[in-house]
Amino acid sequence: MRKWVLKAIVQKTISYLPLSHKINYIFQKYVTKGVYLSDEYFYDRLGHAKVHIKSYQKYSGKSTPGSCLEIGTGWYPVVPIGLFLAGADRIYSVDITLLTSKERLQTTLQKFVACRQSGRLTDYIDFLPGRFEAVLEILRDYEKLSLDEVLSKLNMSYLIEDARKLSLSDNSIDLINSNNTFEHIYTDVLIPILKEFKRVLKKQGGVMSHFIDMSDHFAHFDKSITIYNFLKFTDKQWKWIDNTVQPQSRSRIYDYKQIYAGLGIPISEESFRKGNLDELKSIPLAKKFTDKPLEEVAKSHCHFVSHWDA
């Protein structure tokens, strides 16, 4: 049995259990080895933080967002800490469950310290010296602090709530970002989430910056399949394979553009990876993916920046 099939079966089973996200963490930690904060993941997310900040600076004319909102931060809050170091005063992370912990937060902070010691941090973040001193102070006192106290010192708040009904005020957020999260949200849920983002984002100077990974995430674990493997299944077949602990919508770049257009959200700037057309052609695509140019279907990653001209 292929590794991705086994993982799909296990995650499907876990999705039906109580505390499914905690069980999935244990499964990935001890079986798939996919939850450790590797250098590769850390620097990838740090690169995202750099792009988010640069996008905000470009379209707002300001150096640092005062208030930030991220959806789907996950186990290690690399981007929120990067935003803190850059000078953000209020950093919110919204998710349906709290995936981080005091231990994982400490690991993330230690990665930032190692990054600075290596001389690489300034390649990504124009950090405030006082903010980095605050990180060092937190780590010195870490055993004495609760998770809530650590988050407070980092100007961070976790909103464990439905992102379709945020507890934030209208026109209150400078920067809204996500990092390979949209692909885990099905269209019928993503649309009201984006409506909420549009509501809470400041209409003068507010910026949205979203990275989307449209590849088959099972291929990250099983190198015997391509990043397009999941496109061979019909929606009915995929419903049986997909799970709720790490769902994959299979939406393509043209689907996201259609959602944005329907909501009146401008795409002020976009970038994408072309993908591998030969690999895509090797897959017997489900009919729903044959109605568009293969060049569009093949695009594997994209980044959208949105800004309203006041």
> Residue 106 in contact with residue 113, Cβ under 8 Å?
no
Residue 310: band (very low, low, confident or very high) from pLDDT cuts 50, 70, 90? low
Summarize the confidence of residues 222-237 as an average pLDDT: 96
Amino acid (1-letter code) at residue 16:
Y
pLDDT score of 31: 59
pLDDT score of 12: 77
Helix (H) or strand (E) holding 305: strand 301-307
What percentage of the chain reaches a pLDDT higher than 90? Answer: 84
> Residue 104 in contact with residue 22, Cβ under 8 Å?
no
Residue 39: band (very low, low, confident or very high) from pLDDT cuts 50, 70, 90? very high
The predicted-structure confidence for 97-156, as pLDDT tens digits, reads as follows 888 999 999 999 999 999 999 999 999 999 999 999 999 999 999 999 999 999 999 999
Q: Return the higher-pLDDT residue of 215 and 203.
A: 215
CATH topology of domain 37-214+251-307: Rossmann fold (3.40.50)
d(CA 238, CA 267): 30
The predicted-structure confidence for 76-92, as pLDDT tens digits, reads as follows 999 999 999 999 999 99
> Residue 56 in contact with residue 174, Cβ under 8 Å?
yes
Q: Residue ranges of the domains in the chain?
A: 37-214+251-307
The overall average pLDDT reported for the chain is 94
d(CA 153, CA 50): 22
pLDDT score of 10: 84
Helix (H) or strand (E) holding 219: helix 218-221
Indicate whether 301 pLDDT > 70: yes
DSSP 304: E
Summarize the confidence of residues 246-273 as an average pLDDT: 97
Here the contacts of 146-149 (C-beta below 8 Å, separation 24 or greater) are 146/102, 147/101, 147/102, 147/105
Distance of CA 279 to the CA centre of its chain: 26
Write the DSSP assignment of 149-181 as a string of letters.
HHHHHTTEEEEES-TTS-SSPTT-BSEEEEES-
Contacts of residue 280, defined as CB under 8 A and 6 or more positions apart, other chains included, come to 226, 228, 231, 294, 297, 298
Tell me the sheet residues that pair with 210: 178, 304
> Residue 91 in contact with residue 155, Cβ under 8 Å?
yes
Indicate whether 40 pLDDT > 60: yes
pLDDT score of 30: 53
